[in-house]
Amino acid sequence: METLMEYARNGVAPEWLREVEKHEGVEREKILTLISQGKVVVPRNLRKDEDFIPRAIGKLVSTKINANIGTSADCINLQEEIEKAVVAQKYGADAIMDLSSGGDLDFIRKRIMEVVDVPFGTVPIYQIAREMNIADADEDDFFNVVEKHARDGVDFMTIHAGVCRTTVERLERSGRLLGVVSRGGSLTIAWMKHTGMENPYYENFDYLLELMREYDVTISLGDAFRPGCIHDASDRVKFSEFIILGELTERCRAAGVQAMVEGPGHVPVDEIATSVKAMKYATNEAPLYLLGPLVTDIAAGYDHIAGAIGAAIAGMHGADFICYVTPAEHLALPTVDDVREGVIASKIAAHAIDLVKEGQKDRARRVDYEMSLARKNLDWEKQFRLSIDPERAREIHARRKSKGETCSMCGDLCAIKTINEVMGRREQNA
C-alpha cells in the first residue's frame, strides 16, 4: 500500500485530507505538492479510523502545538495522564506524545490513545530502557519496539538516528557543560558506549524506514544534542547533528516516508534565527519541531513563558511545530493544571507566529481584527469567545466586574467608551 507521500506524488488526495484543507484554508492541491516535497507532513498511521483529526505541519499551514504527557517511575497515575491528554486537546494541543517511563507501558499507551483524537507520538527507546537494562538490549530490541508502537497505531515517533560515532566524537571533544539532556539521546549513547557498536537506528536506517513505511508512520528525527543550557547553545556538536539529520531527511523522502526534524533546546534570543535557518537549510525545509527554545536558564517555575518567547522568535524564522513547555519543566512531572498552562502559553506563541507566517497571516490577522472590533464595541461575549482561553478571560472579568459596560480597570473613565461617545457610533462587524 502506498504512503501519503507517495499518494501526493501521484496527485491523489485521500478523502480525509479535506479536513486538513478546511482547517488550514489552503487548497488540497497545494498541500499535496508540499507533502510530496517533504515540506509538510500529516502524521497519520494507516490503522487510524475516520474519527481521527488529521493535522498538517510545515510550510504555509498553521503553527501546531504538541503536548507531552506520561508517567514516570516516581509517579504512576494512569487516570491523571488520561485527564492531561483530554485537557491538552481541550485547550488547543494539535498532537499528544506519550513519554511514559513507569508502569505497564503497553497498557498505558493504549489507554491514553483511546482518548486522543489528534496525532499521537511516542519515543520507543524509553520502553526498551524501562523493560530491561539498556546495556543488555540488542539490535532486534531497537526495531521490535518501533514495530510494536506502529502496530498499536502511533502516528509519529521520535527516533534519535542522528546519534552516531561521528556526532558522539564531536561531543567528547566539545567540553559541553551539560553534555546531553535528551533522555533518548543519552540512552542511545549509553548503549553505544557499552557495546562499542554503532547506533542501530543510524546503521540500519533503511530497515527503520521499511517499518515506518509499512504503517505510514511519520519519523521525527530527534535532536539528541540539543543544548540544555545557554552556555552550550550554538556549539559545533549541535551543528554536526544538523548535517546528519539533513542527510537522513533526504533518505526518508526517497523512501516515501514523511519526516520532520527536531531542534533545540536552550538558546539565547540572538542565536535562535541562526539555529532555525541552519536546520531549515540542512534539511531542505523539512517541518521543524522545536522544544522551546528556552531563552534563559533561570525561569524555573515559569519555563512555559521562557519557552513561548523562544517559540515565537523561532516561528518567525521558520519553526512549524512547538513542543509545549510547562511550569514544571526541570522541576517535576507536570500536573493537569501545568499542562493547561503549558498549552495556553504555546497557543499564544503559535498564534503570534501565524500573524506573520506566509499562508496564514491573513486568516490570523482577521481574528485579531475581530477582537479589536469587539473591544471597540465593548462586546464582552465576543471578546471571551475569541480569546485563546475563554474560560480564563471570563473568570477574570467577572472577578471584579464594573457596574457599567466597561471593565473595572478604568470604569467610566474607559478611553474606548469616551472616544466612542465623542467620535460617533460604534462600528459593525465588517
Q: Partners of 120 in the beta sheet?
A: 96
Q: Are residues 141 and 197 in the same domain?
A: yes
Is 231 domain-assigned?
Answer: yes
Q: How buried is residue 27: exposed, middle or buried, by Cβ count under 10 Å (0-12/13-18/19+)?
A: exposed
CA dihedral angle for residue 174, residue 175, residue 181, residue 186, rounded to 10 degrees: 70
CA 208 vs CA 201, 204, 235, 310: distances in Å: 7, 7, 29, 32
Is 429 domain-assigned?
Answer: no
**Final residue belonging to a domain, choices 354, 373, 400:** 354
DSSP one-letter string for 28-86: HHHHHHHHHHTSEE----TT--TT-----EETTSPPEEEEEE---SS---HHHHHHHHH
Q: Is 430 helix (H, G, I), strand (E, B) or coil?
A: coil
Specify the amino acid at residue 371. Answer: M
| Cell numbers found for residue 59 | 510550510
Specify the amino acid at residue 9. Answer: R
Number of structural domains found in the chain:
2
Question: What percentage of the chain's residues is helix, strand, coil (to nearest 5)?
Answer: 50, 10, 40
On whether the CB atoms of residues 122 and 373 are closer than 8 A, the answer is no
Q: Are residues 172 and 35 in the same domain?
A: yes
On whether the CB atoms of residues 115 and 124 are closer than 8 A, the answer is no
Place of cell 459596560: 405
State the DSSP code for 294.
B
Q: Are residues 263 and 388 in the same domain?
A: no
CA angle 350, 352, 358 (to 5 degrees): 85
Q: Are residues 253 and 296 in the same domain?
A: yes
CA 302 vs CA 177, 291, 325, 329, 331: distances in Å: 23, 15, 9, 8, 11
What is the C-alpha R_g of the chain?
A: 23
CATH of the domain at 248: 3.20.20.540
Q: Are residues 128 and 276 in the same domain?
A: yes
Q: Are residues 290 and 410 in the same domain?
A: no
CA angle 30, 36, 40 (to 5 degrees): 70
Q: Are residues 248 and 222 in the same domain?
A: yes
On whether the CB atoms of residues 298 and 312 are closer than 8 A, the answer is no
| Cell numbers found for residue 124 | 520507543
Is 288 domain-assigned?
Answer: yes
Is 271 domain-assigned?
Answer: yes
Is 174 domain-assigned?
Answer: yes
Q: Is 266 helix (H, G, I), strand (E, B) or coil?
A: strand
**Final residue belonging to a domain, choices 354, 384, 415:** 354
Is 249 domain-assigned?
Answer: yes
Tell me the torsion sign for CA atoms 13, 18, 24, 28: positive
pLDDT along the chain (430 residues), means of 10: 95 94 96 98 92 96 98 97 98 98 97 98 98 96 98 98 97 95 98 98 98 98 97 95 97 98 96 97 97 96 98 98 98 98 98 98 98 96 97 95 91 93 69
Contacts of 342 by beta carbon, 8 Å cutoff, 6+ apart = 67, 304, 324, 325, 326, 327, 334
Q: Are residues 346 and 322 in the same domain?
A: yes
Q: Are residues 147 and 215 in the same domain?
A: yes
**Final residue belonging to a domain, choices 302, 325, 354:** 354
Is 188 domain-assigned?
Answer: yes
CA 171 vs CA 122, 187, 236, 242, 268: distances in Å: 26, 15, 9, 14, 21
Q: Are residues 281 and 369 in the same domain?
A: no
Q: Are residues 341 and 373 in the same domain?
A: no
CA 323 vs CA 82, 96, 294, 350, 353: distances in Å: 18, 10, 11, 11, 14
What range does the domain containing 294 cover? Answer: 4-354
Give the model's pLDDT for residue 424.
75
Tally the C-alpha atoms within 13 A of residue 87's C-alpha that lie toward its C-beta. 20
Q: Cis omega (within 30 of 0) on the bond before 293? A: yes
Q: Are residues 281 and 222 in the same domain?
A: yes
Rounded Cα–Cα distance for residues 360 and 355 (Å): 7
Place of cell 509519529: 156
Place of cell 517541518: 287
Alpha helix positions (H), 217-283: 236-254, 272-282
Q: Is 374 helix (H, G, I), strand (E, B) or coil?
A: helix
Is 267 domain-assigned?
Answer: yes
